[in-house]
Chain A
Amino acid sequence: MILTPAQQDALVEIANIGAGKAARHLSVLLRDTVQMNVPEVCVGQRHELSALLGTAPGDLLVGVRQAAVGMLTAQVSLLFHSEESQQLVRELVGIGLPMVGADTRALEHDAMTEIGNIVVSAYVGAFADLLGGNIRLSLAAYTEGDLNDVLRHLPDEEPDQESFVLLLKSHMRVMKREVDGSLIVIISRANLGVLVSRIDQWLADLQSA
């Protein structure tokens, strides 16, 4: 499925509103100025995810996943890739050194889960607010491993129902570091169709306003 430039622009705009909201909440929580934006949104088939993310086999990813149900029915994950991003998350949560034991790792996971929960809620909230409709999220779950590991919880693709991935590249600036993460939305063709028709409706409403 290919999005039109107007649909792409709409996605970038909605995602940036979500990113702004997430940054405001993270700034309060982390007591540091956090800036977030989404420079690019792209869509592809699920099997293209690795290429879209730019990950090599065996690259370690860390993230948080939540299932969304409602106007947007999809699996939503916030993933940080690359070593420096993980290092930053550790600095953010105030540990900042190689993990020294199982207890500190658990604390780091909890903090990462909360940060991911805030970001996913803010993005998904922006979709619900602007496009109209309810979206409910499941409890946030921490995930780490290579791309196969972090996608392991997903059901296999139905042969007659290919699934797509929306990739919202997210850029974060905090504590003198630039961090790139990605919000990935894994969504069936039918549910992507629902989302795209909502975007078309929103664009039409904006035109006629």
Chain B
Amino acid sequence: MQATLSAALWGDMVDQLPLGVLLLDPAGRIRGWNDWLARHTAIVLPAALGKTLPELFPGFDHPRFAWALAEVLATGSPQVLSHTLNRHVIPIRLSVPNPYELVLMQQKVQITALAAEDGTPLALVSITDVTENVLQAQSLIAAARALQESSHHDSLTGLYNRRFMASWLEQELKQAQRHNYPVSCLMLDIDHFKRINDTHGHAVGDRVLRDFAQVLGGQLRDSDLFVRHGGEEFVVLLTRCPLPEALFRAQTLLGALRAAAVGTLPAGAVTCSVGAAVYAPDAPCTPDALLNQADKQLYVAKRAGRDRVAPASI
């Protein structure tokens, strides 16, 4: 004959688990709180019962947790909250300092549905401490992130750099061919930049580059990619954009630049020339060929007197 475990024994088991366990009712009130939570939060069971998490932890505001909880209570289906995307749910201060300045325990959380004896739906929240794993991974990730950040962005303007563009453009053109849409490329070069540098100094030159990036960046869409190609040369990649629309967009960029005070120079003092080219999925070309074509057109615009777009029309 199999012995039945008493409720008290089950309670003891939950208290001995090496993870936090709490039970929430549909109003968000705590109906269960195990020893692990009491130890780590210094909030004992009688003080936790009947309270909500914001009452126990002032400032508690976790939209993802709130949605996950509502989802579990409404559907009975479980939800997981990863450490990587949420860091933590219950704010528990770490008692031992660490080299990565983590202040709060890093957690992985699982919410599953239960029903009380009277049928009331309850949410069982289990919290696993993953701080150790995170600390081990932290140094590797931090180093990798720093490397990635520095290798993707231009440090002066904050724009994407040539290296990022190379990998992005290769993927983008593959997608453009697969999904049959055009990608336009604008190659921009600030007119007489050397003269600006020589006349006003490199500090002003740097400010011109930064302001140029800001003024033109304000005219671009989320889906556009703005890149500092090198020196005073920039590239704008316009996805799902045919050439006539790209020429119109280029004129808009030139207009915005003429109207802006750039660096310490008055409006109209800084202009640029633009060469445009398009990747058409029915006549595919390599990323280099697309950039070369835009570069040739940039040369045409410079020769035709600067502060203009080439081709002028199609």
Contacts and interface: CB of A to CB of B under 8 A. Distances in A.
Query: Do the two chains bind?
Result: yes
Interface of A: 25, 28-30, 33, 66, 84, 93-97, 100-101, 103-104, 106-108, 110-111, 113-115, 117, 121, 124-125, 128, 134-140, 176-178
Contacts of A140: 78, 80
Nearest to A120: B77
The 3 closest A-B pairs by CB, nearest first: A137-B77, A110-B82, A111-B84
Nearest to A33: B222
Given A25-B64, A29-B85, A135-B77, A100 B144 contact: yes
Interface residues of B, number: 38
Given A29-B85, A95-B141, A96-B148, A138 B78 contact: yes
Interface in B73-113: 75-86, 108, 110, 112-113
A66 B77 CA distance: 10
B116 interface: no
A139 B63 CA distance: 21
B251 to A, nearest CB: 24
Interface of B: 63-64, 67, 71, 75-86, 108, 110, 112-113, 133-134, 136-137, 140-141, 144-145, 147-148, 168, 171, 174-175, 179, 222-223, 225
Contacts of B179: 178
A98 B108 CA distance: 23
Contacts of A178: 175, 179
B76 to A, nearest CB: 5
Contacts of B71: 121, 125
5 contacts: A101-B137, A106-B133, A110-B108, A125-B71, A139-B112
